[in-house]
Amino acid sequence: MILLVTGVAGFIGSNFVYYYLKQHKDSKIIGLDSLTYAGNINNLSRLTETEKKRFRFIKGDICDTELIKNIFNENQIYGIINFAAESHVDRSIHNPHIFLKTNVLGTQILLDVFKKNYDESKNMKFLQVSTDEVYGALGATGFFTEKTPLNPHSPYSASKASADLIVQAYHATFGLNINITRCSNNYGPYQFPEKLIPLIINNALIHKVLPVYGDGKQIRDWLYVIDHCRAIDMVFHKAKSGEVYNIGGHNEQENIEIVKKILRKLREKTGDKEINEGLIRYVKDRPGHDKRYGIDPTKIKEDLGWKPQIMFEEGIEITINWYLDNADWISSVISGEYLEFYEKNYGCA
Ligand code: NAD
């Protein structure tokens, strides 16, 4: 039996493939990814020879119904974990259409093919990887629980919330075995350098200015990517049908705190005094920018026994070391298209 994992060439999807193949020694994965600007097949080049035998990559789009049908016709697929998405909020403000196409329509197409091949006796499952951003913003207090109403503010989060509703509708209407996970901000190896932590590391190392939105006091709840992967694995194997799980480790920090912490650590590691707070540039805030996200992970702790294993100090150390050791990876993923978008939108290259 084979697991179909989408978005495997992206940040979390590639980390998940490594994690899953190591944890489940007899598992097999088909990894599907259309290799957008954010997808990099080299993210998977470090599979061992034995892992490679249990993994097959297919380049393709989750919106391609015929392709998904063929994958099911030709393989014994028992589950789908859907990571594939357009994932960058800023890009969703510039071009919402592709977000609705991939994130909403793509999810519905996967569900439809899954439904046609659904066999309850085989314990088949569809897991949708969603985000805490579907809940909108918090004030100074309180946390998102699974009962918090969906109130997305960006085209990205609206598309993810829409996908969640479609997944729930396929559970209620057709009785499919589904779960949804909603995780806080992830960080770790293989994250595309348009997201805060790799952007700061990458720019600081080459003394490029560090754009920080507004006053930098937006609060995010950071989780090391492997803790997220472990939670998804537990939900996939242990959760009851129809359940939604929030994933987060109570690690709220202001963006500007994160930036300063990274600068300090990079300066210590490299001895380069030019890596300092003088590189920070406060830029015009993102429209509709949510002030604070914070997850209440009580349900996943109590139902499944999950809790984070890698605290921020350790996780950020691993992450910074990984980017320092993998400068070639950064240059390989920064294409002309990325630089064009970056320079146009942040205006401070
Ligand atoms: P990412 O942008 O790094 O990776 C997305 C991957 O999906 C890329 O490899 C891309 O090529 C692929 N893709 C895009 N459109 C596709 C399509 N139409 N068909 C097939 N493949 C396609 O994103 P990520 O940060 O790894 O996020 C993965 C998932 O986790 C997303 O669904 C995201 O909403 C969710 N999530 C992310 C975070 C986070 O902090 N990064 C937090 C919570 C949830």
268 located within any domain? no
Q: Would you say 253 and 313 are in contact if contact means Cβ atoms under 8 Å apart?
A: no
341 located within any domain? no
Mean pLDDT, residues 2-29: 98
Residue 126, C-beta contacts closer than 8 angstroms, at least 6 positions apart: 79, 80, 82, 110, 111, 114, 167, 170, 176, 177, 178, 179
What is the model's pTM?
0.96
Cα 139 to averaged position of ligand 1 atoms, centre (Å): 27
Q: What is the average pLDDT value for the chain, to the nearest integer?
A: 95
241 located within any domain? yes
Cα 161 to averaged position of ligand 1 atoms, centre (Å): 15
319 located within any domain? no
pLDDT value for 333 = 82
Q: Which of 270, 278, 184, 274 is nearest to 224 (CA)?
A: 184
Cα 272 to averaged position of ligand 1 atoms, centre (Å): 34
Residue range 228-261, pLDDT digits in tens: 999 999 999 999 999 999 999 999 999 999 999 9
Boundaries of domain holding 169: 2-187+223-249+292-309
Indicate the number of domains in the chain. Answer: 1
* pLDDT at residue 330 greater than cutoff 90: no
Residue range 162-179, pLDDT digits in tens: 999 999 999 999 999 999
Residue 190, C-beta contacts closer than 8 angstroms, at least 6 positions apart: 11, 14, 15, 40, 43, 329
Q: Residue 344's pLDDT band (boundaries 50, 70, 90)?
A: confident
256 located within any domain? no
CB 33 near ligand 1, within 6 Å: yes
CATH for 103:
3.40.50.720
Q: Residue 336's pLDDT band (boundaries 50, 70, 90)?
A: low
* pLDDT at residue 348 greater than cutoff 60: no
pLDDT value for 343 = 73
19 located within any domain? yes
Q: Which of 17-21, 58-62, 246-250, 288-292 has the lowest mean pLDDT?
A: 288-292
The label of the residue with tokens 């380049």 reads 59
121 located within any domain? yes
132, 164, 194, 243: the catalytic one is: 132
pLDDT value for 349 = 41
Catalytic (active site) residue 132 = yes
Parallel, antiparallel or unpaired: strands 223-224 and 186-187 = parallel
Residue range 169-224, pLDDT digits in tens: 999 999 999 999 999 999 999 999 989 999 999 999 999 999 999 999 999 999 99
pLDDT value for 133 = 97
pLDDT above 90 coverage of the chain, percent: 91
- Residue 105 is given by DSSP the state I
Q: Which of 101, 205, 110, 104 is nearest to 162 (CA)?
A: 104
